[in-house]
Amino acid sequence: MSRWTTTSSDRVQPLTSNFDLIIFDCDGVLVDSEVISCRAHAATLTRHGYPITADQVLDRFLGVSDSEARRTIETELGRNLPEDFEIEVKQATLQRYADDLKPVLHVGEAIAAISLPKCVASSGTPEKIRHGLTCAGLYDLFSPHVFSATQVERGKPAPDLFLFAAAQMAVSPARCLVIEDSMPGIAGARAAGMTVLGFHGGSHCRPGYADRLHAAGAAKTFDDMRQLPGLIESVAAN
């Protein structure tokens, strides 16, 4: 049964010009990768003397850029991680991608049904984003409009990445609609002055996750990508 939080009294209205750009997060929105990434991250951290489970990585660092997560961990450790730590995590993640990564269910047909310009704004590195989207068969739907937190000074929850994406696409932030699955991502989009929809249909989302997304500032939440085109129209009309 769908857990879409829009009430039955809502009615989809004809698409207006309220939005000029749809910005998609990647992990957990386009590709069902968060559980895979968290397992790789947890295994690598544990090997370097920072015992942590995949669930704990998910709870603490979902949506946070790799560089900001590293700073937090090094502060708690009281020492630096190896210089090639991110490379180790990336290699472990990409190896698991090749075996296990899948697109979020129905996301391809949802993207095809949305006529507005689209781009990706992700906390991942450019290589990780491209590899994930390619494995899932989605890269060509967005290329070359794929943006990474490595291109800005501060990652999510700062607004920098979203503002950068809007500037690259020549669209005012107020006319951007963001699709996110994490609290830091929602916070960053809101700080950029953008409207956000919270997606909780990934395999990492637990009971009550929709409430957390709504509390973080999502205008509406949904768990089935087939709902997205109509939901965009509904939010635009209102």
CATH of the domain at 145: 3.40.50.1000
Token pair, residue 42, equals 């947890």
Amino acid at 69: A
Residues 81 and 160 in one domain: no
6: in domain: no
Q: How many CA atoms lie within 13 Å of 65's alpha carbon, on the beta-carbon side?
A: 24
135: in domain: yes
79: in domain: yes
Q: CA–CA separation, 216 vs 233, rounded Å?
A: 22
Work out the burial of residue 108: count CB atoms within 10 Å of its CB; fewer than 13 is exposed, 13-18 middle, 19 or more buried.
middle
> Per residue in 109-119, pLDDT tens?
999 999 999 99
What is the structure's pLDDT at 17?
52
- Pick from 79, 75, 95: nearest CA to 87: 95
Q: CA–CA separation, 224 vs 220, rounded Å?
A: 13
Residues 233 and 123 in one domain: yes
Asked which of 100, 124, 155 is the last residue of a domain, the reply is 100
Token pair, residue 68, equals 């900001």
User: Cβ distance 30 to 107 under 8 Å?
Assistant: yes
What is the structure's pLDDT at 221?
97
pTM of the model: 0.79
User: Cβ distance 111 to 118 under 8 Å?
Assistant: yes
Q: CA–CA separation, 217 vs 51, rounded Å?
A: 32
Residues 40 and 80 in one domain: yes
> Per residue in 157-216, pLDDT tens?
999 999 999 999 999 999 999 999 999 999 999 999 999 999 999 888 888 999 999 999
CATH of the domain at 68: 1.10.150
Residues 116 and 158 in one domain: yes
Q: CA–CA separation, 94 vs 79, rounded Å?
A: 27
Residues 134 and 197 in one domain: yes
Query: For the chain, which residues score pLDDT lower than 50?
Result: 1-16
What is the structure's pLDDT at 203?
84
What is the structure's pLDDT at 64?
82
Residues 214 and 160 in one domain: yes
67: in domain: yes
Instruction: Provide the 8-state DSSP code for 236.
Output: H
163: in domain: yes
8: in domain: no
Token pair, residue 36, equals 């895979």
Sign of the Cα pseudo-torsion (168, 86, 37, 71, in order): negative
What is the structure's pLDDT at 58?
87
- Domain span holding position 178: 21-33+102-237
Q: Which residue has the tokens 């544990």?
A: 46
14: in domain: no
154: in domain: yes
